[in-house]
Amino acid sequence: MTKSEKAIAVPAAPRVSKWWSLVVLALGLAMIVMDGTIVAVTLPTIIDDLGLNITDAQWVNSLYSIVFAALLLTTGNLGDRLGRRNIFIVGIALFLAGSFWAAKSGSAEMLISARALQGVGGACILPSTLSTVNATFRGKDRAAAFGVWGAVMAGAAAIGPLLGGWLTSAFSWQWIFYVNVPIGVVLIVAAVAVVPETRSSDNRPGFDMDGLLLSAIGFGALVFAIIEGSSLGWWQPLQDSSLFGVTWSTDKPISIVPVLLLVAAVALTLFVFWERHRARVARSALLDLHIFFTPTFSWGNVAAMMIAVGEFGLIFALPLFLINAIGLGTLGAGFVLATMAAGAFLSGTMARHLAAMIGAAGTVVVGVALEIIGVLVLAVVLSADTSPVTIGAVLVIYGVGLGLASAQLTSTVLADIPVDLSGQGSATQSTVRQVGSALGSAVVGAVLSVGLAHYLGGIEGPAEKFADATRESAGGAITGLRESHAPDEIVRQLSEAFASATQWSLFAALSFLVFGLVASLRVLEVSRRERPSAALELSVDDRAAR
């Protein structure tokens, strides 16, 4: 038995029930992951309908991710203490209520508060799904279960824009929220029926309220600063910003972003010291810092963050290119991105067979390598004349790598974490991925902006007067010119400049994936050193099952 299996006895669930529970958990996961990307596509329609200003729009788009990241450690710990299925059901109920509230919103304030409630629900759901899978599945079933979980995690983010575009064009923007309501009701009933309850046997007294506040402030401030840095200004304030009723105006000497980064650094430093103190006095802690002494966990989280930066940076840049430079509609761009999801679903569900041969850590290395190949090929062939079919074909390769990496990285990271700490381990990895996703959008967005300034600055002739508008609108001005039947040469010059800038952003995403590959190789090294027979045992289990 592994260390995690010895930590707590988990009752063996009937095989059918166990796999049905995975279906329920995967659907809950897909719902919250898609919600992180579905709103971005629909935001222009929401702005027009509700008359949002730019600040309102930013909060609608980013508050979900901020609240989500701020509460993951807390909800993971609550799942360990109160029962992971219980927290999953509470999360679904909160997410359902937030979705209904958002669909009924008639003002910016209602919609923003609804998005915050959705974020709380999502923070309850994500670590609960992952920790339940970690606590329930063993042997060859574990590899298959994490394969499904990882495939859903990777693919749902890419499907979000497609689903959002279709619902908005076929019905109305409210349906991106309404669609969650019946799904949520079914999931609550199904979770009660088929998802096994698991919890930690840790009976240390007290609840770590101080740790909760410090982690929420630290991660909330960090993710907000990363997401809003490009629009509010990384150092000099670019526009007024409001936070908890306090307005930070442009006449301040510095932007609010570095202030929030300082707050995050102080809060997270205090959080680490506080958690060490809780451990010394044998009180319950929000995070057991000893799990970071597990090499596969610590290096796996480094890999997860680097890979998330690259993956979400790509998801940020590609829709802008497809819509603005190539001229696809929202639905067309969604179909192109769906090829990435198709590759991820296909490889994610089949990853256990590769893991049986080369191990989970080796499968991660193969997956990240395929991601790197896909992004590199895409960056090389990208131009204003590139066919969407070509882009989709390359994204299939990338998606296959994405599915392999996502499916087995989670399993590798949590392999040596005791089941008692499943919630904490799962929440930590989820937090790392969430920070990485926010960082990916910010870094790749900044590179795209610099690239646009460089290439648009070199434009001469009639298109020159549209260069500034193109850069400030992140390419949106090109779509406007195309719709107003501007001369083809103007549109072409601007589109080529945008394509060249997008290449820069893809190389930026590629560099982080390379860092992720290096960290993944380190995970492979330590996993082979500590568990040299792991791949052999998995292979034996697989043959015995046949």
Q: Does residue 3 belong to any structural domain of this protein?
A: no
Which of 258, 283, 308 terminates a domain? The answer is: 283
Same domain, 91 and 157: yes
Q: Is 9 exposed, middle or buried (0-12, 13-18, 19+ CB in 10 A)?
A: exposed
Q: Does residue 237 belong to any structural domain of this protein?
A: yes
CA distance 470 to 459: 12
Same domain, 449 and 306: yes
**Structural domain count of the chain:** 2
Here the tokens at position 66 are 């901020």
Q: Are 40 and 394 in contact (CB under 8 A)?
A: no
Q: What count of other Cβ atoms lies within 10 Å of the Cβ of residue 23?
A: 14
The letter for the amino acid at 108 is: A
Which of 253, 283, 313 terminates a domain? The answer is: 283
Q: Does residue 201 belong to any structural domain of this protein?
A: no
Same domain, 504 and 523: yes
Q: Are 458 and 500 in contact (CB under 8 A)?
A: no
Residue 200: partners with Cβ closer than 8 Å, 6 or more residues away: 8, 80, 81, 419, 420, 421, 422, 423
CA distances from residue 399 to 146, 298, 311 in whole angstroms, order as listed = 17, 25, 10
Q: What count of other Cβ atoms lies within 10 Å of the Cβ of residue 280?
A: 9
Q: What count of other Cβ atoms lies within 10 Å of the Cβ of residue 293?
A: 8
Q: Are 99 and 118 in contact (CB under 8 A)?
A: yes
Q: Which long-range contacts (CB under 8 A, 24 or more apart) does 235-240 make?
A: 239/54, 239/55, 240/55
Same domain, 326 and 415: yes
Q: Are 511 and 444 in contact (CB under 8 A)?
A: no
Q: Are 88 and 31 in contact (CB under 8 A)?
A: no
Please give the residue range of the domain that contains residue 485.
13-195+284-545
Same domain, 252 and 390: no
Q: Does residue 2 belong to any structural domain of this protein?
A: no
Same domain, 290 and 158: yes
Q: What is the CATH number of the domain that holds 135?
A: 1.20.1250.20
Whole-number pLDDT of residue 101: 93
Phi, psi for 102 (deg, rounded to 5): -65, -40
List, as one string, the DSSP characters of 437-451: HHHHHHHHHHHHHHH
Residue 531: partners with Cβ closer than 8 Å, 6 or more residues away: 415
Q: Is 544 exposed, middle or buried (0-12, 13-18, 19+ CB in 10 A)?
A: exposed
Tens of pLDDT along the chain (546 residues) come to 444 444 443 444 444 467 788 889 989 988 888 877 777 667 767 877 887 765 676 677 677 877 887 788 888 888 877 888 999 999 999 999 999 999 998 888 888 889 989 989 998 998 888 788 877 877 677 777 777 777 777 667 767 777 877 887 788 888 889 989 999 999 999 999 888 888 776 666 667 778 778 888 888 888 778 777 767 777 877 777 766 667 777 777 888 888 888 998 999 899 888 888 887 877 777 777 778 888 888 888 888 888 888 887 887 788 888 888 888 877 787 788 788 878 877 776 677 777 778 887 888 899 999 999 999 999 999 988 889 999 999 999 998 888 888 767 877 777 777 777 766 777 787 788 878 877 787 788 778 888 888 888 877 777 777 777 777 767 777 877 777 777 888 888 888 888 898 999 999 999 999 999 999 998 888 877 765 444 334 333 444 444
Q: Are 324 and 476 in contact (CB under 8 A)?
A: yes
Whole-number pLDDT of residue 546: 40
Q: Does residue 320 belong to any structural domain of this protein?
A: yes
Calculate Rg over the CA atoms of the chain: 23
CA distance 288 to 294: 12
Here the tokens at position 168 are 């908005």
Q: Are 123 and 72 in contact (CB under 8 A)?
A: yes
Here the tokens at position 346 are 């296909």
Q: Does residue 172 belong to any structural domain of this protein?
A: yes
Q: Are 56 and 112 in contact (CB under 8 A)?
A: yes
Whole-number pLDDT of residue 372: 94
Same domain, 125 and 186: yes
Same domain, 180 and 219: no
Same domain, 218 and 76: no
Whole-number pLDDT of residue 371: 92
Q: Does residue 1 belong to any structural domain of this protein?
A: no
Same domain, 224 and 296: no
Same domain, 80 and 97: yes
Whole-number pLDDT of residue 272: 87
Which of 255, 283, 311 terminates a domain? The answer is: 283
422-457 and 209-232 helices, crossing angle to 10°: 10
Q: Are 371 and 398 in contact (CB under 8 A)?
A: yes
Give me the residues paired with residue 243 across strands.
246
Q: Does residue 4 belong to any structural domain of this protein?
A: no
Same domain, 318 and 371: yes
